[in-house]
Amino acid sequence: MNTPDILEDTQAVLIKSSIWKLLWLIVLFAVLLLMALAALPSVAGWLATLFLASLSPIALYIYRPGASYLKLHAHGLDIAAAGRKRTIRWRDVIGFHVREERGDKRIGILYSDDYILRNANQPWQTQDTDADWIRDLYAMPMKELCDTLNRWVTSKNASTEQRGLPTA
pLDDT the model gives residue 73: 92
Residue 113 amino acid letter: D
- The C-alpha atoms of residue 44 and residue 46 are separated, in whole angstroms, by 5
Contact partners, residue 137, CB within 8 Å, separation at least 6: 17, 18, 21, 63, 68, 81
Residue 12 amino acid letter: A
pLDDT the model gives residue 122: 62
pLDDT the model gives residue 27: 80
Contact partners, residue 7, CB within 8 Å, separation at least 6: 13, 14, 16
- The C-alpha atoms of residue 47 and residue 53 are separated, in whole angstroms, by 10
Q: Is the pLDDT of residue 129 over 50?
A: no
What does the pLDDT look like over 37-88, one tens digit per residue? 776 677 877 787 788 778 778 777 777 767 788 899 999 999 887 778 889 9
Q: What average pLDDT score do residues 10-35 get?
A: 74
* pTM of the shown model: 0.66
Tally Cβ neighbours within 10 Å of residue 21: 16
Q: What average pLDDT score do residues 151-163 get?
A: 77
Average confidence score pLDDT of the chain = 76
Among residues 19, 111, 106, the alpha carbon closest in space to that of 68 is found at 19
pLDDT the model gives residue 58: 78
